[in-house]
Amino acid sequence: MTPDYRLDLQGEPCPYPAIKTLEVLPDLKKGEILEVISDCPQSINNIPVDAKNHGYEVLKIEQHGPTIRYLIKK
Amino acid sequence: MFKNFKESYLVRFWSPIPAIAMLGILSAYYFGITGTYWAVTGEFTRWGGHVLNFIGVNTDNLGYFKIIGLSGTPFSRVDGVMIIGMFGGALASALMANNIKFRLPQSKARVFQALIGGAIAGFGARIGMGCNLASFFTGIPQFSLHAWFFTIATLIGVYFGNKVATSRLLCSKIIMQKVNKTKELEDLNKNAKVNFIIGIVVLIFMIAWVVFLAFGKIPEGKKIPVLSIAMLFGIAFGYIISRAQICFTSAFRDIFLTGRGYMARAVVIGMMLSTIGVFSYIMLGLPPKIMWAGPNAIIGGLLFGFGIVVAGGCECGWMYRAVEGQVHYWIVGIGNVIGSTILALTWDSYAESLATSFPKINLLSTFGNYGGLLVNYLLLVVFFIIIVMLEKYYLAKKRNQFSKRSN
């Protein structure tokens, strides 16, 4: 799965990863994929839920220790 | 088989709803066994008191310490050992899941935000006689009206906190990049095995401490070695909040920020489970913890709600994130202790006009035992409905707002 864009939010505490993700997603074209990287583990409870609620598709969630990669499709 | 179990339960994050339900039930048992509720900020204030004593400030005449008590040490108080248990449980959980990474704040603004937000939240919590626990999650099931005042005010405080936290000054400056492959992430999993073993060692050490306390002195007026049990519960609380990344701050905050209220709904369900448990202990003769339903609870809630959002975490949320290596939350914790200590130092000048001259209202005395139970459940149902309505309203509003930005 190849992303078209990346949002590397390592170091940012919650809620910024969730807000930033929702802010940039509308800039994608339909079908494009955004890679979000966050090391705020609590993002596991917000990024996937928010993405779904706002009409995007969560393709993959990968947990690398405390760092989580989300692949989200518009 | 063990590998499967480990992956599903010890490494992957837990779903918040069963976790909060468990916290609700455990906190009712905790009350039944120890006679006090699950709370953390009172103890943080006592730490501040010890620091004051250490630097030569006499705390004997401070009224606030007469109310919450300052005798003994964190190792000899129920709240003290419970908190040590929470840190231990959270640390064991984070290690076993390989969820440890040293993370520094990315800007000076974040440091400032953590410290000031933490101090405002600490002050607000203590003037309101409890944080998201004693004035909310474990306070409402005690039938204390002050907890309802505090909770409603917190919701308003959170709303204003959001305005500051998402202001241009504090918003994230990171920008999206065009890429054609996923980023190589540092392989932190190489430490997973070692961390898992250290986590088990931490857990064994904590359990050994619990056993040690079980053979210790039984505190006056208690039938059982309550310190041991308090620590055991602390370990469970810490382990669960870390495993499910329970965040009371986000429960309130994110309703307004993104239109997501599922953590808030989970919290209300947790309180519904807790309420009936606490009620049965009260019926058996245990006195509930009731606080003044005065302006202090409202002021406290407003400040607390504002502070936790600015800081990015509340009094129990910073604890498990601090042991994960997030320096941001060490600063929030220090802020909390500073804020609550300032409250203790200044309390006597406004205590009477804001708090102590107001009645301590117990819903079970006001409406009768079953009447009070019913009123508390009705209020919880109304609260749940309000959350669902806010969630619906803000989700529609935010969907619109975020999607318009790009045009």
How close, in Å, is residue B118 to chain A by CA atoms? 14
Give the pLDDT score at B7.
84
Q: If pLDDT is split at 50, 70 and 90, which confidence band does B106 have?
A: confident
> Which amino acid appears at position B326 of this protein?
Q
pLDDT tens by residue, B242-263: 999 999 999 999 999 999 999 9
pLDDT tens by residue, B149-201: 999 999 999 999 999 999 988 988 889 999 999 998 877 778 889 999 999 99
Burial of A16: CB neighbours in 10 Å, binned 0-12, 13-18, 19+: buried
State the count of interchain CB pairs (< 8 A) between A and B. Answer: 155
Distance CA B229, CA B218 (A): 11
Q: If pLDDT is split at 50, 70 and 90, which confidence band does A24 have?
A: very high
Question: Which residue reads 């498990």 in tokens?
Answer: B320
Handedness of CA A55, A56, A59, A63 (dihedral sign): negative
Answer for the pair A18, B257: CB distance below 8 angstroms, yes or no: yes
DSSP class per residue in B17-55: HHHHHHHHHHHHHHHHHHSS----HHHHHHHHHHHHHHT
Q: If pLDDT is split at 50, 70 and 90, which confidence band does B18 have?
A: very high
> CA–CA distance from B260 to each of A52, B213, B335 (Å)?
11, 42, 28
How close, in Å, is residue A58 to chain B by CA atoms? 15
Binding-face residues of B in 336-375 toward A, CB within 8 A: none
Query: Collapsing DSSP states into helix, strand and coil, what is residue A34?
Result: strand
Which residues of chain A does B399 touch, with a Cβ-Cβ cutoff of 8 Å?
Answer: 53-55
pLDDT tens by residue, B294-318: 999 999 999 999 999 999 998 889 9
The verdict on a CB contact (< 8 Å) between A64 and B185 is yes
pLDDT tens by residue, B373-406: 999 999 999 999 999 999 999 999 999 998 876 5
Which residues of chain B does A58 touch, with a Cβ-Cβ cutoff of 8 Å?
Answer: none
How close, in Å, is residue A66 to chain B by CA atoms? 4
Give the pLDDT score at B406.
55
Please tell me which of the candidates B13, B188, B244 has its beta carbon nearest to residue A67.
Answer: B188
DSSP class per residue in B140-170: GGGTBHHHHHHHHHHHHHHHHHHHHHTSTTT
Phi, psi of B306 (to 5 degrees): -65, -50
How close, in Å, is residue B285 to chain A by CA atoms? 39
The verdict on a CB contact (< 8 Å) between B253 and A15 is yes
Residue B377: CB atoms within 10 Å: 15
H or E segment at B341? helix B327-351
pLDDT beyond 60 at B325? yes
Binding-face residues of B in 50-89 toward A, CB within 8 A: none
Give the pLDDT score at B382.
98
State mean pLDDT over B196-214.
97
Give the pLDDT score at B224.
85
Torsion-angle region of A71 (φ positive above 0: left; ψ -120 to 50: alpha; else: beta): beta
How close, in Å, is residue B311 to chain A by CA atoms? 10
Burial of A30: CB neighbours in 10 Å, binned 0-12, 13-18, 19+: exposed
Q: Find the angle CA(A39)-CA(A41)-CA(A45) to the nearest 5 degrees.
A: 130
Judged by a CB distance cut-off of 8 A, whether residue B91 touches chain A is: no
Query: Collapsing DSSP states into helix, strand and coil, what is residue B212?
Result: helix
User: Is A14 among the catalytic positions?
Assistant: yes
Give the residue from chain A lying closest to B170, CA to CA.
A16
Give the pLDDT score at B405.
64
Per the confidence metrics, is the pTM higher than 0.90? yes
Sheet holding A57-64, edge to edge: A57-64, A67-73, A33-38, A5-8, B177-178
Judged by a CB distance cut-off of 8 A, whether residue B187 touches chain A is: yes
Residue A1: CB atoms within 10 Å: 10
Please report, rounded to a whole number, the percentage of residues in chain B having pLDDT higher than 70. Answer: 99
pLDDT tens by residue, B266-303: 999 999 999 999 999 999 999 999 999 999 999 999 99
pLDDT beyond 80 at B347? yes
Residue B144 forms beta bridges with which residues? B362
Q: Which of A12, A14, A22, A44 is catalytic?
A: A14
Which residues of chain A does B178 touch, with a Cβ-Cβ cutoff of 8 Å?
Answer: 4-5
Please report, rounded to a whole number, the percentage of residues in chain B having pLDDT higher than 90. Answer: 86
Judged by a CB distance cut-off of 8 A, whether residue B184 touches chain A is: no
The verdict on a CB contact (< 8 Å) between A42 and B189 is no
The verdict on a CB contact (< 8 Å) between B101 and A67 is yes
State mean pLDDT over B2-21.
90
Question: Which residue reads 């000054």 in tokens?
Answer: B169
Which residues of chain B does A21 touch, with a Cβ-Cβ cutoff of 8 Å?
Answer: none
The verdict on a CB contact (< 8 Å) between B100 and A65 is yes
The verdict on a CB contact (< 8 Å) between A66 and B101 is yes
Residue A69: CB atoms within 10 Å: 19
Distance CA B119, CA B304 (A): 9
pLDDT tens by residue, B29-41: 999 999 999 999 9
The verdict on a CB contact (< 8 Å) between B405 and A9 is no
pLDDT beyond 80 at B331? yes
Which residues of chain B does A73 touch, with a Cβ-Cβ cutoff of 8 Å?
Answer: none
